[in-house]
Amino acid sequence: ASFIVVDDVRGAAFDRVTAPAFSGDGRTVAYGARRAGRWYRVVGEHATAVVDEIVSVFLNHNGTKIGCVVQKGRDQVVVTDRRGPAFRWIGGPQFAPDDRVVYLAERAGTKLVVAGDREIALGDWIVWGPTLSADGRSVSLGARIGQELWHKVVRLPGE
């Protein structure tokens, strides 16, 4: 059995759980969980069934919005109140102050920064560790481009 423990309180038992995500204010915890072959998005003590396998979950600053990355066949998709486009890989999803979801993704070998409905192509890079600026206007990330390591700051387009 797998479970999440927060402040010495053990949560419900599942067959498998994802890494927990905490809201920016630290008051809300969320995670993905599987029991008897079915996946659930768990926020606090409330579990909601999800059709696809959950890869990871994320919350906004005050825990009022939740999103998850799900695996659908060979592709991954961000799911919030709607489903985003399919990518081969998705990393570092987070809510911007304007509620857009910002994350890294890969499609056909090209890495991208995705901000809401906009995509910024980065190229054939290896990318990691996206950090959204406090105002949500840019994202910084680590990148390996060829043999060089870079710290990049990418300006995000407005919606």
pLDDT value of position 44: 86
Tens digit of each residue's pLDDT (9 = 90 or more) over 118-142? 999 999 999 999 999 999 999 999 9
**Local confidence band at 158 (pLDDT 50, 70, 90 cut-offs):** confident
Sign of CA dihedral 133, 92, 78, 105: positive
Amino acid at the residue 18: T
Q: Is 43 helix (H, G, I), strand (E, B) or coil?
A: strand
Tens digit of each residue's pLDDT (9 = 90 or more) over 19-31? 999 998 999 999 9
pLDDT value of position 70: 98
pLDDT value of position 121: 97
DSSP readout, 99-130?
S-EEEEEEETTEEEEEETTEEEEEES-EEEEE
**Local confidence band at 159 (pLDDT 50, 70, 90 cut-offs):** low
Q: What's the rounded Cα separation, in Å, for the pair 19 and 92?
A: 13
Q: Is residue 12 a contact partner of residue 4, using CB atoms and an 8 Å limit?
A: no
Q: Is 19 helix (H, G, I), strand (E, B) or coil?
A: coil
How many Cα atoms are found within 13 Å in the side-chain-facing hemisphere of 116?
Answer: 13
- What would the two tokens of residue 131 be? 């950090």
**Local confidence band at 80 (pLDDT 50, 70, 90 cut-offs):** very high
Q: What's CA 90's distance to the chain center, in Å?
A: 7
Mean pLDDT of the region 67-87: 96
Q: What's the rounded Cα separation, in Å, for the pair 142 and 139?
A: 10
CA angle 27/30/35 to nearest 5° reads 145
Mean pLDDT for the chain overall: 95
Q: Is residue 114 a contact partner of residue 121, using CB atoms and an 8 Å limit?
A: no
Q: Is residue 128 a contact partner of residue 119, using CB atoms and an 8 Å limit?
A: no
- The share of the chain scoring above pLDDT 90, in percent, equals 94
